[in-house]
Structure 1
Amino acid sequence: MDGTMFLGLVVVLLAGAGLTWGVVAIVRRQRYIKSLRERGWNFVNSPTYDAVARLERPPFGLGFNRRTDDQITGRTTAGRAFQVIEYSSEHWSGWVGMVTLSRRLPELWMTGGATHPRYGVEATGVPAPAQLGPGWRIGTQDPEYAATALTGQACDRLNAMAASRPGLNLSIDADQLVVLDPPRKDVDLLGGWLEELGTVADAFDAAPLDRWIEPERPPRFAFYGHPDWHWIGVDDSLLAVTPVNGSGHDHRTDEVVRGRDGDGPPFVAFTHHWKTTRTETSTDSEGRTQTRTVVENHSEAMLGFQLPVAMPQLEVGRRVFGRGISFESEAFNDQFAVKAQHTKFAYDVIHPRQMEYLMANPPDPFRITGDWVWFAPSAHSHPVIARNSEFLRGFLARVPRFVWRDLGLPESPYSQPEPVLPG
């Protein structure tokens, strides 16, 4: 048998093996779905995002590219509604199991064993109750709420569940008790696990937590820690009113987000896509000329914050080559380059405390143009928006009062984190 025939035989055998494994996988999946339905549970192959839209604490509520896949729903023997679903985003992917609580409650994080807290969690760690076994970590924004929720009954049931499932990772997200990595491959094991999770929910329902009940929120594409952010998706009208790159053709927007944080300025953030076309000409060895059209795709992250009043132009970036305006701090001059329409305005805004703040919290490069602050972010992402939003609030709060008065405002529009230069 020559090499060509041998290679062909290998390809045929591999194709046959792939087809066989594909058939086996389909049969196994159908049997699995049948076993779920025999329990009275429902299975949805491609659920919509609405299945988790009311949840906003990690792994939910983070990132822009969120996906749901296989979903199992039903009720425990005690009648408590549950959901087991495959979920993914830029920051996490896997399976999540949850049972419904009787009330919407603040976030509470409970991790047992060697499990690390979930990505993006902002809750403060508090001591675990003595009744919980060793290795438990508790996170909350309200220690009194956590102490009231984690009664003796709740601790006993958490310990019992952790004994059979080491590395337990639970949280309360509104009216859901959420756990990562449920044992979903074995239907019988999953059934027992959901019953155990239901007993933990019973303990939380029995605890005196009514004074912490949260109001119902509309199901939407929510952002963890940022209740006033809103997902827009596409808004090509932004192309006419924002400083996007104007070259090329086929301009469009996606992943548009609008919102604000606290008393900070409102923002708009999005990705701008466009194309450029060029013609390339080449000559082969026989002197024949060939021409081809090359289309290239481009994108840029856009992030702008609208100010309550127009300001003189000011740019702050990392120093690369040369210098901008020179300030009294050589450490600042070595790190930043500042350009301004009016040098006095730069000195008024970039005072010693402001320089300390910039060096301690270096932002993406930004420029003030009229009543907008435009950043040049490294990427368009949830963390980048949050970081620059937090920075800008601190930056604007440190602008002296006399500057705002000179611009026509009676007082600083932003709460002062610390005293600034007198005005």
Structure 2
Amino acid sequence: MSPTIWIVLAVAGIGVAIGLYAIIRRQRYVRSLRERGWTFNGSPTWDAVAQLANPPFGLGFVRKPDDQITGSTGAGRPFQVIEYGSEHWKGWVGMVTLSRRLPELWIIGGQTQLRYGVTATSVPAPQQLGPGWKVGALDQAFGAAVMTPQLCERLTVMAAKQPGLNLSIDGDQLVVLDPPRKDPAVLAEWLDQLAAIADAVDATPLDQWIQPARPSRLTFYQHPEWYWVGVDDSLLETTRVTRSGHSHSTSDVIRGRDGNGPPFVAFTHEWKTTRTESYTDSEGRSQTRQVTENHSEAVLGFQLPVRMPALSVGRKGFGRGISFESGAFNEKFKVTADDTKFAYDVIHPRQMEYLIAGPPAPFEVDGDWVWFSPGEHSHEVIEHSSAFLIGFLTRVPRFVWRNLGLPDTPYPALLSGVSQT
């Protein structure tokens, strides 16, 4: 045989050997886990992370749980160690179960930064922890109550072996990034240290902050009433989507609401178009062929409690819209409506100030729905549009809602200083 063939065979043999070594090593690792009474699952379902909503969980539409180890610590506390990936983060997470569901809390050691997407108020770190520690919570009183001397002592012990400790409370789970999972013996010791921290949290009187159980479904960070649906092609018959073309489908369907705001549905709509085009082949003959193109659009709609006259608000472009008393508003926005008086009632001076201060994606009121044209389907776009629309509807005067047949505004003034006369 030629030298080239020998080289190819040698490379192939090395590849096979490496593959066999990886398989044998993984089998030994899994066997060592099971010898400890733990369970290994190479293909966990969404249920493994369905109750988790704080970063790295609860963000984005791509969420991939992978290898999972479950069992109990030496003291009998349930634990989970799982590989997890999203658009924003990929790695391993370890957690033990607490006795109560508690509010969000973050404890970060060393120079480690808060996890992507986290919004929390800084709580002074106890001096017992030493320099470099950061503590964050949405409820400062809760954050202060958790940070007992006993907890600080156990955090310091664990941080001595894991510098840059990145710990959080997510419901009834005490969660830490980057567990030492390669050596089961080291992992067992680490889990016992994490369980000791959980013991300190459980021993602290925190019952006044107990949180309600979350539904068993994929939710979103800071939006407990949002939930993942995935696919729902029935929406193609009931929502405003492009009707032309063929092979229509939905993906990344999200439903929910924010507080007392209007419920929404958001998803990506995909479809195809096929056309016949003429071309000349290499021999100069005229031919035809079918060309199929893929298309997609982001769909975002909020359902109102009552039908409204048609109204659209978009960025200033071609064509004339309704003229308002604010020149600054007229330069930025184009408003059209079937009922001009209704437009003037809704787009009053305070509403114009609100729109100028935080311009939304173009939107249109159509019956009892408000449809946005966001340009993309993302967690951030839904969040921004929902917050904007609540503020917009809050500023619709009471007499407008009464004229539409409601006894009063369905969206009370949640924002300070908003008049609804």
Deviates more, 1:231-240 or 1:261-270: 231-240
* Deviation (angstroms), 1:291: 2.5
* Deviation (angstroms), 1:388: 0.7
2:61 is the counterpart of 1:67? no
Q: Provide Cα deviations, 1:262-297, integer angstroms capped at 9, x if missing partner.
A: 111111112212111112221124222333222222
Distance in 1, Cα, partners of 2:291 & 2:380: 35
Pairs within 5 Å for 1:28-43: 28-43=25-40
Unaligned runs of 5+ in 2: none
* Deviation (angstroms), 1:220: 1.6
Match of 1:102 in 2: 99
Q: Please say if residues 400 and 420 of structure 1, whose CA atoms lie closer than 8 Å, have aligned partners that are also in contact.
A: no
* Deviation (angstroms), 1:378: 2.3
Match of 1:296 in 2: 293
What is the SS of the residue equivalent to 1:275? strand
* Deviation (angstroms), 1:394: 0.3
Q: Give the AA of the match of 1:384.
A: V
Distance in 1, Cα, partners of 2:189 & 2:365: 59
2:395 is the counterpart of 1:398? yes
- Match among 104, 112, 122 for residue 119 of structure 2: 122
Pairs within 5 Å for 1:284-323: 284-321=281-318, 323=320
What is the SS of the residue equivalent to 2:53? coil
Distance in 1, Cα, partners of 2:326 & 2:128: 54
Q: TM-score, normalized by length of structure 1?
A: 0.93
Aligned residues: 420
Q: Give the AA of the match of 1:390.
A: A
Q: Please say if residues 310 and 370 of structure 1, whose CA atoms lie closer than 8 Å, have aligned partners that are also in contact.
A: yes
Q: Give the AA of the match of 1:78.
A: A
Unaligned runs of 5+ in 1: none
Q: Please say if residues 73 and 82 of structure 1, whose CA atoms lie closer than 8 Å, have aligned partners that are also in contact.
A: yes
2:131 is the counterpart of 1:134? yes
Q: Please say if residues 277 and 291 of structure 2, whose CA atoms lie closer than 8 Å, have aligned partners that are also in contact.
A: yes
Distance in 1, Cα, partners of 2:332 & 2:350: 15
- Match among 280, 283, 299 for residue 283 of structure 1: 280
* Deviation (angstroms), 1:418: 4.1
**Residues 344, 159 of structure 1: CA spacing in aligned structure 2 closer, same or farther, 3 A cutoff?**
same
Match of 1:343 in 2: 340
Q: Give the AA of the match of 1:395.
A: F
Q: Please say if residues 129 and 150 of structure 1, whose CA atoms lie closer than 8 Å, have aligned partners that are also in contact.
A: yes
Distance in 1, Cα, partners of 2:7 & 2:359: 58
Distance in 1, Cα, partners of 2:359 & 2:159: 42
Match of 2:18 in 1: 21
Distance in 2, Cα, partners of 1:420 & 1:40: 60
* Deviation (angstroms), 1:254: 2.4
* Deviation (angstroms), 1:52: 1.8
Match of 1:363 in 2: 360
* Deviation (angstroms), 1:349: 1.6
What RMSD in Å do the two structures reach over aligned CA positions?
Answer: 2.1
Q: Please say if residues 110 and 139 of structure 1, whose CA atoms lie closer than 8 Å, have aligned partners that are also in contact.
A: yes
Q: Identity across aligned pairs (percent)?
A: 67
Match of 2:214 in 1: 217
Distance in 2, Cα, partners of 1:133 & 1:280: 72
* Deviation (angstroms), 1:302: 0.8
Distance in 1, Cα, partners of 2:215 & 2:339: 47
Q: Provide Cα deviations, 1:33-92, integer angstroms capped at 9, x if missing partner.
A: 222223332211111111121222222222222221101112221121111001122232
* Deviation (angstroms), 1:312: 1.7
Deviates more, 1:15-24 or 1:392-401: 15-24
**Residues 198, 320 of structure 1: CA spacing in aligned structure 2 closer, same or farther, 3 A cutoff?**
same
Distance in 2, Cα, partners of 1:323 & 1:10: 73
Q: Please say if residues 264 and 393 of structure 1, whose CA atoms lie closer than 8 Å, have aligned partners that are also in contact.
A: yes
* Deviation (angstroms), 1:421: 5.8
2:185 is the counterpart of 1:176? no
Distance in 1, Cα, partners of 2:140 & 2:284: 80
Match of 1:208 in 2: 205
Distance in 1, Cα, partners of 2:288 & 2:232: 37
Deviates more, 1:224-233 or 1:88-97: 224-233
Q: TM-score, normalized by length of structure 2?
A: 0.93
Distance in 2, Cα, partners of 1:51 & 1:420: 43
Q: Please say if residues 69 and 80 of structure 2, whose CA atoms lie closer than 8 Å, have aligned partners that are also in contact.
A: yes
Q: Please say if residues 395 and 420 of structure 2, whose CA atoms lie closer than 8 Å, have aligned partners that are also in contact.
A: no
Q: Give the AA of the match of 1:176.
A: Q
* Deviation (angstroms), 1:320: 3.9
Deviates more, 1:194-203 or 1:227-236: 227-236
